[in-house]
């Protein structure tokens, strides 16, 4: 049976002052994190199929809550419904944490997640209305001082993608810190053993986050196939930036400046991917040195390595299949999972210093015992 008393009341050392494990709360947090991944996958389906403007009004769809679900409406409105469901889950999770969670910082993370998902919904709506509402479009142009709405559209879409990753990070954080293992119960292995790699992991989180934003920017700029070959770029390891192949007679030719920006963003995405792979190799070497393969961090590193390998393969497949929709959606989804795994690993690595160094897994739930050092 789960006891509901804080561990500290039983006289057990509890440097974090966390509350007891609440299985239903944790499961709900995991469900919410899963929903945020599915939502990102649905968003990728919208972008990949060009369905973002299939429903010109917002928050309703053709004036209805449930329009006729066909073609682009099916994809865009499903994304909106999933967004609504995820928002409700995050809202409930936030309220649950506020009511039942002992740790104040966890309550605040729940609150921030609620605000982030609301801002995310507003940005999604703005992305649609900035094209379909002429008055809003004119206001955006006045405010930005730009001559055309397209850069604003890309900016709003990129901000929407950015907040999606923030929401994902917050939900993965909540799923991690409400877990039984986090709270010290039945901990597997030695989280402390990975303390030395925590800066490497922090860099990994930032780089993966930046990589996902670059990817989103690339998608919204329509630059996914601007470099048509892989692993080379226009037949070279580094694209010929000063002499890019500009086809002025193409039915819809790019300007030199647009082409340069698209190639820069696309190529940066590839370079950062290489950097991520190097970081993963670094993490694996460090983990192996510390014989960490059986610990939580060791398992997460294994997962991160597998996800990274899959992700790079999918990235290559996007070029080779000329952006086949299922491949693109899988690539975005794996990217989200990778970021979630990195966040989880980072939390573990930064928690380790003050955490109980080893905890017996055989203890009855609801009790903690710190083993002698």
Partner 1 sequence: MSNKKFVFVVFATVSIALSLAGCGKKTGEEATVDTKSSSPAGGGASAYNESMGTATVTGKVAFTGPAPEKTKIQMSSEPSCLSQHKGPLYAQEGEINANGTLPFVFVYVKEGAEKWTFPTPSNPVTIDQKGCRYEPHVFGIQPNQKLVILNSDPILHNIHTYAKENAPFNLGMPTQGMKFERDFKKAEMPPISIKCDVHKWMVSYAGVVPHPFYSVTGVDGAFTLKGLPPGEYSIEAWHEKYPSQIQKVTVGDKETKELTFTFQG
Give contact residues for partner 1 (rule: CB under 8 A): 49-60, 62-63, 67-68, 70-73, 76, 98, 111, 114-115, 118-119, 121-122, 125-126, 129, 131-137, 148-150, 247, 249-253
Q: Which is nearer to partner 1, 69 or 238 (CB)?
A: 69
Tell me how far CA of residue 135 lies from CA of 8, 52, 107, 154, in angstroms.
Answer: 58, 20, 39, 18
Residues 6+ apart with CB under 8 A from 3: 20, 365, 366, 367
Cis peptide before 231 (omega within 30 of 0): yes
Phi and psi of 214, rounded to 5°?
-60, -45
| Least CB distance to partner 1 at residue 8 (A) | 22
First to last CA, the chain: 29
| Least CB distance to partner 1 at residue 296 (A) | 33
Q: Which is nearer to partner 1, 48 or 311 (CB)?
A: 48
Q: Which is nearer to partner 1, 111 or 282 (CB)?
A: 111
| Least CB distance to partner 1 at residue 110 (A) | 10
Q: Which is nearer to partner 1, 67 or 282 (CB)?
A: 67
Q: Which is nearer to partner 1, 118 or 166 (CB)?
A: 118
Residues 6+ apart with CB under 8 A from 104: none
CA distance 224 to 65: 33
| Least CB distance to partner 1 at residue 121 (A) | 7
Contact 197, 349 (CB under 8 A): yes
Q: Which is nearer to partner 1, 155 or 282 (CB)?
A: 155
| Least CB distance to partner 1 at residue 246 (A) | 13
CA distance 369 to 182: 14
| Least CB distance to partner 1 at residue 81 (A) | 16
């Amino acid at each position: 049976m789960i006891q509901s008393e804080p561990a500290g009341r039983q006289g057990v050392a509890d440097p974090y002052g966390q509350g007891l494990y609440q299985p239903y709360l944790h499961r709900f947090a995991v469900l919410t994190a899963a929903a945020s991944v599915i939502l990102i996958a649905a968003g990728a389906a919208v972008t990949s199929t060009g369905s973002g403007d299939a429903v010109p009004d917002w928050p309703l769809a053709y004036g209805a809550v449930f329009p006729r679900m066909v073609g682009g409406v099916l994809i865009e409105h499903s994304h909106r419904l999933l967004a609504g469901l995820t928002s409700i889950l995050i809202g409930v999770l936030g309220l649950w944490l506020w009511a039942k969670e002992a740790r104040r910082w966890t309550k605040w993370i729940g609150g921030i997640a609620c605000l982030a998902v609301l801002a995310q919904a507003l940005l999604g709506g703005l992305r649609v209305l900035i094209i379909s509402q002429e008055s809003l479009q004119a206001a955006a142009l006045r405010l930005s001082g730009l001559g055309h709405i397209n850069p604003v559209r890309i900016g709003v879409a990129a901000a929407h993608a950015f907040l999606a990753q923030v929401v994902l990070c917050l939900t993965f954080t909540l799923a991690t810190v409400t877990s039984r293992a986090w709270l010290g119960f039945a901990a597997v292995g030695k989280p402390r053993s990975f303390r030395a790699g925590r800066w490497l992991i922090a860099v990994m989180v930032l780089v993966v986050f930046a990589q996902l934003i670059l990817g989103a920017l690339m998608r919204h700029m329509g630059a996914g196939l601007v470099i048509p070959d892989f692993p080379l770029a226009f037949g070279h390891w580094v694209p010929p930036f000063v002499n890019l192949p500009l086809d002025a007679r193409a039915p819809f030719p790019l300007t030199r400046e647009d082409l340069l920006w698209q190639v820069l963003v696309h190529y940066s995405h590839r370079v950062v991917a290489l950097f991520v792979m190097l970081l993963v190799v670094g993490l694996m070497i460090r983990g192996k040195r510390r014989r960490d393969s059986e610990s939580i961090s060791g398992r997460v590193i294994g997962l991160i390595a597998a996800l990274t390998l899959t992700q790079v393969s999918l990235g290559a497949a996007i070029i080779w299949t000329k952006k086949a929709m299922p491949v693109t959606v899988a690539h975005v989804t794996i990217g989200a999972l990778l970021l979630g795994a990195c966040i989880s690993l980072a939390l573990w690595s930064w928690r380790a210093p003050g955490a109980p160094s080893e905890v017996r897994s055989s203890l009855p739930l609801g009790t903690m015992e710190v083993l002698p050092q």
